[in-house]
Amino acid sequence: MTTRRRLIPYWLLAPGAIWLALFFVVPMYFMGELALRSGTFTEGFESAFQISNFSDALSGHTNQVVRSFVYAGTATLIALLIAYPLAYAIALRAGRWRLLLLFAVIAPFFTTYLIRTIAWKTILADDSPVVSVLQALQLVPEDGRVLATGGAVIAGLTYNFLPFMILPIYASLERMDTGLIEAGKDLYASSTQTFLRVTLPITAPGIVAGVLLTFIPAVGDYVNAEILGGTGTAMIGNVIQSLYLEQRNYPEAAALSFLMMLAILIVVLIYLRVAGSGAFMGDEDERRA
Amino acid sequence: MRTPRKSLRAVLALGALGAAITLTACGGGDTVGGASDNKAEVAEPGPPVDGEFNISTWVGYIDKGDGNTISKFEEEYPGTNVNYTEDVNDNSDFFGKVQPLLDEGESGGRSMFVVTDWMAKQMNDLGYLQEIDYADVPNVDANLKDSLRSPSFDPDRKFSIPWQSGMTGLLVNERLAPDVNSVNDLFDPKYKGKVTVLTEMRDTVPLLLKADGIDPEDATKQDWLDEIDRLQGAVDSGQLRRFTGNDYVQDLTNENVVAAIGWSGDIALIANDSVDWRMPTTGCIIWSDNMVIPVGAPNTAAALAWADFAYDPEIQAPISDYVRYVSPVEGIEKVNPALAKDPLVNPSDEFTADCSTQPNPPGSAEDVQEVTEAFQAVITQ
């Protein structure tokens, strides 16, 4: 009986562990192995220990690496600024409209990612009303454009990943005990103080989760730059695509993919360090225990 | 709470072991890529011709609507189901997608691809294509235009049958860019941010070479690299808006772009009366897209039947009328006399006098790779 009970965690963990092994560890091994090969496509890529693939992959692509982080970071920031008030309104102010509004946030997902992105080509077309308004506000020069610029790519990224920011923040706001806000007010805190000292810290795990869910896929995104971008707006995903499919330099493509993962990992670790990993891992529960 | 943590480690170890076993089984040491030792087989003909027939091709390459060619084919061969997929937007891109399959002798369920001359050659050189016996495609044998019977890349037409031919030149909005007549005019600052060129290096660079008075046949590697530098300059100045495949159609239709390097028949896809295809003053690039049958292709019987079917002038004429590319089939003018007058479908020798056959970059495989990398570096700026 005891042995059996001791085995239970194994069985519970097994599906996840096998999944990870098959679909993460194994592909990572192959990618790492490919990244160290040498040769050309026509002659074949032989096993070698060619570390220089990594430096080759990075040299000449630093622009695109930096650009990917800038675009993704900007999109994440804008998404956060849009998502928090929206999630707040839905969770705490919407009343009986809450479900409908939540549905409205998720509704775009019923259309495919690609179609939604292509639709932005029409929204941001050179003579579209949106661009005319931006020109009237002098946000875009009179003869300027939005489509096929970095701005369009950031707009696309923000739009496409916005729900991933809204939902975790909504979840954390929704389960917050609103009595705490009243308690703050009872203690003579102003609305701003209550928000900064009560609401914001309590919803921090939602923000941290939202930022990660938005930023990580946005850095590696390839579709927005491909469809909404122009010349000089390629992100790292586009470079990897070109290396793999057009130039057929498989080792360098694999090396660049590896470096990209590493860079994202480092940025995320720094972020969690600053934001406090406890916020993400739910130290709330630990405190309770 | 020690036990769960220990179990976790044990399960992870188990997973790692599983992974190790999988890896040993797969063997990490083989060469990736490189020419395969596949021996060219001859595609197996019918009868019977039936079942699923999957074809990968370019957008805008067949007539649509009631009584279209696909439905006629399915009527002619009952029990056949044509899955016509327009998933080729760029030769290299498509090749990159299917190459790992072809290397294993698989075609991913596709019975036929439609790819440009140079790509057909590249696939054949790597042993990825099946040969075609002309006894199995009598219509092709009878009706293929003489000028297309022995191209340099496949002198006996062993592995390729042209689907359509075409010309690469200028797609121009006559109202917004009336004075774009030469490829050099694309670099006029007054069209800054309103012009695009193709991601197909073998279209874009040779057109630039011709505009600079260099015959692509005689061009050196340095000439190619110089033209790529010129593109780089146009990217830096913001002159070039994008690098495109067929996806320029939307930008030209809604006038985000006023002039582009483009393929002749795509004029049929652009729903804007102001846009027309223009022969550049320094001539165009001529190419064919070919039906090829890959190794491991299922239902080669249907593939051969399809090629033969399309070479019946009665069948070809409506295709030609719809797609407006240069038809490789003799005798369509007898079916539809109007086609004889369309310079895009039936260009006269005078019209194409200054045009060149689509070239490869000169030199060895390494030289070609160097030029390709330089071009890609500009695209993925």
Q: Are residues B61 and B152 in the same domain?
A: yes
Q: Are residues B262 and B367 in the same domain?
A: yes
Contact flag A13-B373 (C-beta cutoff 8 Å): no
> What is the predicted pLDDT for the residue at B365?
86
Shortest Cα–Cα distance, B255 to chain A (Å)? 8
- Residue B176 forms part of a structural domain: yes
CA distance to B68, B127, B347, B365, per residue, from A43 (Å): 44, 13, 41, 10
Q: What is the pLDDT of residues B271-288, one digit of tens each?
A: 999 999 999 999 999 999
Q: Are residues B277 and B298 in the same domain?
A: no
Q: Are residues B118 and B243 in the same domain?
A: no
- Residue B67 forms part of a structural domain: yes
Considering only residues 160 to 199 of chain A, which have any Cβ-Cβ distance to chain B shorter than 8 Å? none
Count chain A–chain B contacts defined by CB atoms under 8 A.
135
- Residue B135 forms part of a structural domain: yes
In our burial notation (b when 16+ CB lie closer than 10 A, e otherwise), range A190-212 reads eeeebeeebbeebbbbbbbbbbb
Q: Is A289 on the interface with B (CB under 8 A)?
A: no
- Residue B97 forms part of a structural domain: yes
Contact flag A17-B15 (C-beta cutoff 8 Å): yes
The residue range of the domain holding B146 is 51-159+293-311
What percent helix, strand, coil does chain B show, rounded to 5?
Answer: 40, 20, 40
Q: Characterise B114 by phi-psi region: left (phi > 0), alpha (psi -120 to 50), beta (else).
A: beta
User: Which residue from B32, B97, B193 is facing A34, i.e. has the nearest CB?
Assistant: B32
Query: At A274, is the pLDDT very low, low, confident or very high (cuts 50, 70, 90)?
Result: confident
Residue of B nearest to A60 (CA): B377
Whichever domain contains B188, its CATH number is 3.40.190.10
The total domain count for chain B is 2
Say whether pLDDT at B18 is over 60: no
Q: Are residues B103 and B123 in the same domain?
A: yes
Contact flag B381-A232 (C-beta cutoff 8 Å): yes
What does chain B come to in residues? 381
CB atoms within 10 A of CB A62: 9
Query: At B50, is the pLDDT very low, low, confident or very high (cuts 50, 70, 90)?
Result: confident
Q: Are residues B152 and B71 in the same domain?
A: yes
Contact flag A242-B379 (C-beta cutoff 8 Å): yes
CA dihedral for A233, A236, A238, A240, sign (positive or negative): positive
- Residue B129 forms part of a structural domain: yes
Q: What is the pLDDT of residues B225-261, one digit of tens each?
A: 999 999 999 999 999 999 998 889 999 999 999 999 9
Encoded tokens for A283: 């130290």
Q: What is the pLDDT of residues A83-132, one digit of tens each?
A: 999 999 999 988 899 999 999 999 988 889 899 999 999 999 988 899 98
Residue of A nearest to B370 (CA): A247
Give dist(CA A173, CA A7) in Å, integer: 38
Considering only residues 97 to 156 of chain A, which have any Cβ-Cβ distance to chain B shorter than 8 Å? 118, 121-122, 125-127, 145, 147-148
Q: What is the pLDDT of residues B151-206, one digit of tens each?
A: 888 998 999 999 999 999 999 999 999 999 999 999 999 999 999 999 999 999 99
Contact flag A238-B380 (C-beta cutoff 8 Å): yes
Q: Are residues B270 and B301 in the same domain?
A: no
- Residue B196 forms part of a structural domain: yes
Contact flag A42-B35 (C-beta cutoff 8 Å): yes
CB atoms within 10 A of CB B96: 21
Contact flag A232-B235 (C-beta cutoff 8 Å): yes
Say whether pLDDT at B321 is over 70: yes
Say whether pLDDT at B379 is over 90: yes
Residue of A nearest to B127 (CA): A42
- Summarize the confidence of residues B85-94 as an average pLDDT: 89
Residue of A nearest to B99 (CA): A245
> What is the predicted pLDDT for the residue at A279?
57
Give dist(CA B45, CA B134) in Å, integer: 11
Contact flag B34-A45 (C-beta cutoff 8 Å): yes
| DSSP string computed for B171-192 | EEETTT-TT--SGGGGG-GGGT
Residue of B nearest to A32 (CA): B28
With contacts defined as CB-CB under 8 Å, which chain A residues touch B228? none
- Summarize the confidence of residues B258-265 as an average pLDDT: 94
Say whether pLDDT at B307 is over 70: yes
Residues whose CB is less than 8 angstroms from the CB of residue A25 and which lie 6 or more positions away in sequence, other chains included = B15, B16, B19
Strands B240-244 and B259-263: unpaired
Q: Is A47 on the interface with B (CB under 8 A)?
A: yes
Shortest Cα–Cα distance, B237 to chain A (Å)? 10
With contacts defined as CB-CB under 8 Å, which chain A residues touch B242? 148, 229-231
> What is the predicted pLDDT for the residue at B377?
93
Give dist(CA A117, CA A218) in Å, integer: 14
Say whether pLDDT at A233 is over 80: yes
Q: Are residues B149 and B221 in the same domain?
A: no
User: Does residue B310 contact residue B316 with C-beta atoms inside 8 Å?
Assistant: yes
User: Which has more confidence, B125 or A1?
Assistant: B125
With contacts defined as CB-CB under 8 Å, which chain A residues touch B365? 40, 42
User: Does residue B186 contact residue B261 with C-beta atoms inside 8 Å?
Assistant: yes
Q: Is A232 on the interface with B (CB under 8 A)?
A: yes
Q: Is B8 on the interface with A (CB under 8 A)?
A: yes
> What is the predicted pLDDT for the residue at B29?
46
- Residue B3 forms part of a structural domain: no
Give dist(CA B277, CA B267) in Å, integer: 6
Q: Are residues B131 and B223 in the same domain?
A: no
In this prediction the pTM is 0.86
* Structure-token match 């997902």, residue found: A109
With contacts defined as CB-CB under 8 Å, which chain B residues touch A60? 377
Say whether pLDDT at A63 is over 80: yes
Give dist(CA B369, CA A14) in Å, integer: 46
Q: Is B174 on the interface with A (CB under 8 A)?
A: no
Q: Are residues B223 and B86 in the same domain?
A: no
Shortest Cα–Cα distance, B98 to chain A (Å)? 10
Encoded tokens for B163: 């689907």
- Summarize the confidence of residues A212-221 as an average pLDDT: 94
Give dist(CA A265, CA B368) in Å, integer: 37
- Residue B175 forms part of a structural domain: yes
Q: Are residues B216 and B267 in the same domain?
A: yes
Q: Is the peptide bond before B48 cis (omega within 30 degrees of 0)?
A: yes
Shortest Cα–Cα distance, B242 to chain A (Å)? 5
Contact flag B380-A41 (C-beta cutoff 8 Å): no
Residue of B nearest to A122 (CA): B254
Burial (Cβ within 10 Å: 0-12, 13-18, ≥19) of residue A109: exposed
Query: At B35, is the pLDDT very low, low, confident or very high (cuts 50, 70, 90)?
Result: low
Contact flag B376-A21 (C-beta cutoff 8 Å): no
User: Which residue from B23, B32, B365 is facing A37, i.e. has the nearest CB?
Assistant: B32
Query: At B3, is the pLDDT very low, low, confident or very high (cuts 50, 70, 90)?
Result: very low
User: Which has more confidence, B280 or B3?
Assistant: B280
Identify the residue among A18, A50, A246 best suited for mutation to test binding to B, counting B beta carbons within 10 A and taking the highest.
A246
Give dist(CA B324, CA B61) in Å, integer: 9
Considering only residues 15 to 34 of chain A, which have any Cβ-Cβ distance to chain B shorter than 8 Å? 17-18, 20-22, 25-26, 29-30, 33-34
- Summarize the confidence of residues A162-180 as an average pLDDT: 92
Give dist(CA B111, CA B83) in Å, integer: 10
Q: Are residues B185 and B225 in the same domain?
A: yes
Q: Is B225 on the interface with A (CB under 8 A)?
A: no
Strands B80-88 and B112-116: unpaired
Query: At B112, is the pLDDT very low, low, confident or very high (cuts 50, 70, 90)?
Result: very high
Question: Could you say which DSSP state residue B135 is in?
Answer: G
> What is the predicted pLDDT for the residue at B26?
44
Give dist(CA A125, CA A131) in Å, integer: 7
With contacts defined as CB-CB under 8 Å, which chain A residues touch B96? 244-246, 248
User: Which residue from A39, A42, A127 is facing B255, i.e. has the nearest CB?
Assistant: A127
User: Which residue from A20, A64, A246 is facing B96, i.e. has the nearest CB?
Assistant: A246
Domains of chain A by start residue, with CATH: 63-288 (1.10.3720.10)
In our burial notation (b when 16+ CB lie closer than 10 A, e otherwise), range B121-144 reads bbbbebbbbbebeeebbebbeebb
